[in-house]
Amino acid sequence: MKKYIKIVLVVSVISSCQNLTQQKFNLDEANELEKVSYSIGINVATSIKSEGLDSINSFYISKGFQDVFENKDLAINIEESNKIIGEYFNKKQDAKNQKLAIDSKIFLDQNKQKDGVMTTESGLQYLILSEGKGNNPTLNDNVTVHYHGTLIDGTIFDSSVDRKQPATFPLNGVIPGWQEALQMMSVGSKWKIFIPSELAYGESGAGAIGPNSTLIFEVELLSIN
């Protein structure tokens, strides 16, 4: 809720920028307060857009701003405004999550039809790029791997390859999709694995990984430690 209260305050501030459309805008001749106000507008607008708001009604924003600063009776009290904003952003997030789930399902359905792609009972998909001759790790092993992780739209979210530093970790400490795939791989193998969200971070997501996201990794198993 604190997040939405912050948005309420931010939206109120941005409405003051509407007055700029009724004045001649010349930042070179602006005084300090005008420059600060314009800078606040830039920061506020950027913040609001990052929350998923892609359009605004400047008249209603201006009306809310004026009513507060002119101490007029508010058509909506603060508690109700917080609720309205919260419900709106929750609805937008739910729609985004649903679209991610649909896009992921379409991607996996199409991907499994491609030559060489195998699908396990759990729904994990993999493509063998090269096969090693070493042992297979068990769930209790530590492994060292090189990997490159992307979303289905090609966005890179993590890559030991880009860092030029292999990763070592206990196999039982990573997501289920990794656990399943790596136990099927022998040392020296390089696979491309396609992990459904239910074998990754599910409806919660993690950092740059949104809810219901299918993850794609190129993984090379370097050693079992």
pLDDT digits (tens, 9 = 90+) for 172-218: 999 999 999 999 999 999 999 999 999 999 988 998 899 999 999 99
- For tokens 């314009």, name the residue: 38
**Residue 16 in domain:** yes
User: How far is C-alpha 43 from the chain's CA centre?
Assistant: 21
Residue 92 lies in a domain: no
Q: How confident is the model at residue 4 (pLDDT cuts 50, 70, 90)?
A: very low
Write down which residue in 75, 100, 135 finishes a domain: 75
Query: Among 75, 106, 127, which residue terminates a domain?
Result: 75
Give pLDDT tens digits for 185-197: 999 999 999 999 9
d(CA 203, CA 119): 22
Please determine, for residue 15, whether its predicted confidence score (pLDDT) is greater than 60. no
Say whether both 71 and 126 belong to one domain. Answer: no
Domain count, the chain: 2
Enter the pTM of the model.
0.71
Residue 115 carries which side chain, given as an amino acid letter?
D
* Mean per-residue pLDDT, 44-66: 78
**What is the CATH classification number for the domain harbouring 196?**
3.10.50.40
Whether 153 and 55 share a structural domain: no
Q: Let me know if residue 18 belongs to a domain.
A: yes
Please indicate, yes or no, whether residues 131 and 211 belong to a single structural domain of this protein: yes
Instruction: Classify strands 167-170 and 118-119 as parallel, antiparallel or unpaired.
Output: unpaired
Q: Answer yes or no: is 33 within a domain.
A: yes
45 belongs to a structural domain: yes
Catalytic residues: 147, 157-158, 175, 201, 217
In what helix (H) or strand (E) does residue 102 lie, and over which residues does it extend? Answer: helix 78-111
Whether 149 and 217 map to the same domain: the answer is yes
**170 and 70 housed in the same domain:** no
What's the mean pLDDT in 29-57?
A: 80
Decide if 186 is inside a domain. yes
Which segment, 20-24, 68-72, 158-162, is predicted with the most confidence on average? 158-162
Residue 178 and residue 127 share a domain: yes
* Phi and psi, residue 196, nearest 5°: -60, 155
Higher pLDDT, residue 13 or 57:
57
Give me the domain span that covers residue 44.
2-75
